[in-house]
Every structure is written in structure tokens, then in C-alpha cells.
Amino acid sequence: MARTVLVTGGNRGIGLAIAQAFAAQGDRVAVTHRGSGAPEGLFGVQCDITDSAAVDAAFTTVEAELGPVEVLVANAGITDDTLLLRMSEDQFTRVLDTNLTGSFRCAKRASSKMLRAKWGRIIFISSVVGLYGGPGQVNYAASKAGLVGMARSITRELGSRNITANVVAPGFIETDMTAVLPEATQAEYKKAIPLGRMAKPEEVAGAVTWLASDSAGYISGAVIPVDGGLGMGH
Ligand code: NDP
């Protein structure tokens, strides 16, 4: 059955691969962007998830064009790495405001319609860093760990209404976000990955479409690592 899917930050990187995977299986897919426009074949809506009014307006537009959002993929995220002693409070709160509060804004807006429909799927894109931490990533790790608590609380609140909330935790994926890392850091990561390589964004998308499918209807509050074994043994 075709669903209405909204992927935040679906204009590039992992979000784009997820949006394309849903579109390929026949779903009605909308992506948010911050001004770049939507890739061909996807319905785009401009939205900065740090702005509650913009989030509300984006959902209203998607609802008018494609129907109520049945599957939310809260994917949009940023990094702003630096060591703890150098990290300003602004650097900390800015990352939290996008990755965690931004996802909260979208999940809250989506869940009101999901409650009415008595069906919904919320998938948060976290990170292995949210599970195990990362040097220079106190802000990012805190934001991504928060998504786990949020998914599990939503599960307890809304699970009985046929709304599931899960977390996908990618490891080291080939996107703009990782392309900016120094080569030495990239090499170090690759050495630590049992599968011996980074992943393509498409390799994250499968876990997300599966979590939204009927076959995963009894899975909620789960964290699915897509990390080539990077987090194993922690
Ligand atoms: P990219 O940097 O390639 O893309 C980030 C996306 O988030 C863009 O679409 C960007 O929009 C959007 N975005 C950022 N800030 C906002 C905002 N305030 N409002 C709306 N959209 C925003 O990242 P990836 O594709 O690599 O990452 C996607 C998700 O996966 C992120 O949450 C990231 O933390 C997570 N992740 C990535 C990993 C990796 O190795 N790449 C590993 C683990 C997790 P715009 O184009 O307008 O900037």
C-alpha cells in the first residue's frame, strides 16, 4: 500500500537515498530542503527544521499535495565538531537545536495526524556516535543519543495507537558530511570497520524502508545499526 512519506533533509546524502528508495516502491514522497530545491521526481518543500513555524507550514503543504504524513524520516542533521574544552555553548545548542529539537518538532507535528489515522511510522536517523560517543563530538553525540530516548518515549506513549518509532544508527557513510573529514581521520575509521569500507547512502535506505513496512509493524523503540560492524564489541 502506497504511503505518504516525508524525509527531512531529503535533498542530498542519506536523506536523498532514503527518499528515492521510498519513491521506487511507489510511495508518495516529499523531501525538505533549505533552498536548494528538490531533486527531480521528488516533491520538495522548503523548511529549516530549527523554525517551528516553518515545520508546521511544510507539513501543511505536504498534506495538501500528498495527504497526511504517514511515515516520517527525521534525517536532517549537522555536525560542528571540536573538543569539549573549546566547544562554546552556542556550538552545543545549535547542534542540539537541529538534530534533536528539530526532530522533535517534526515528530510532534507528524504524530497528531498519525494519531487520527491510527497508523504511523517515525524513524529517526541517529548515529553510532550517539550510541558510543566520539571525540570532539559532545554536542553531536548528545543530540543523537537523545533521539533514542525520544523514540522509546514515543513508543511508550503512542505504541498502542499503531504508531511505531525507531532509530537507525549509521556508521561511516559516503556523503558531504564525511567528505570534509581529514584523510587521516577517514583512514582511521576505515581501519576500525570490520567490513573494511565506508557505506553508500543507499545501504542505509534499506533499513529505513523496512522499518516503515508492514513486516516491521511489531518493531518499536529499536535501534538498528547500519555500520559495517563498527560498533560491535562496545
Ligand atoms: P549531509 O550533510 O550530506 O546532509 C545533511 C542534510 O540535512 C541536508 O539535506 C541538509 O539540508 C539537512 N539539514 C541540515 N540542517 C538543516 C536544518 N536546520 N533544517 C533542515 N534541513 C537541514 O548529511 P548526511 O546525508 O551524511 O547525514 C544525514 C543524517 O545522517 C544526519 O542526521 C547525520 O547526522 C546522520 N549520519 C550521517 C553519517 C555519515 O557518515 N554521513 C553517519 C551517521 C549519521 P541542506 O542541503 O539545506 O543543507
Write out the three cell numbers for 68: 497526511
**Three-state SS at 25:** coil
Write out the three cell numbers for 145: 543519543
Max CA distance (Å), the chain: 51
The pick from 175, 186, 223, 224 for probing ligand 1's pocket by mutation, whose C-beta has the most ligand atoms within 8 angstroms, reads 175
Domain formed by 4-225, architecture: 3-Layer(aba) Sandwich (3.40)
Q: Which residues of the chain, if any, have pLDDT below 50?
A: none
Residue type (1 letter), 170: P
Write out the three cell numbers for 71: 511515515
pLDDT at 234: 76
Beta pairing, strands 163-170 & 28-33: unpaired
Domain ranges (residues) in the chain: 4-225
Q: Does 173 contact ligand 1 (Cβ within 6 A)?
A: yes
Interface confidence (ipTM) of the complex? 0.99
Angstrom distance (rounded) from CA 70 to CA 77: 21
Q: Does 48 contact ligand 1 (Cβ within 6 A)?
A: yes
